[in-house]
Amino acid sequence: MANNAGRVLAQTGTREPRRSGLRRRAPFYAVGALIAVLAVAYFDGGEEPIRPIVQEIALPGEGE
């Protein structure tokens, strides 16, 4: 009985219940994923120069 009383006191002494490791690390994973997406968008995105499309098209009614 004495052993159980010590466990109960140790468990009730904490104010906040312990969260699992994944729940504790999830915000860090989310921030890391957001930074990765923003980095890819920064390096890969942006404006590209406009190049004219030069291709001959055969129109009906022309020719001979």
Sequence ranges of the domains in the chain: 18-42
pLDDT at 20: 85
Per DSSP, the residues of 35-48 read HHHHHHHHHH-S--
Q: For residue 12, give the H/E element and its range.
A: helix 2-12
Cα gap 10→45, rounded to integer Å: 54
pLDDT digits (tens, 9 = 90+) for 3-21: 555 555 555 555 666 778 8
What pTM did the predictor assign? 0.46
**62 against 56, higher pLDDT:** 56
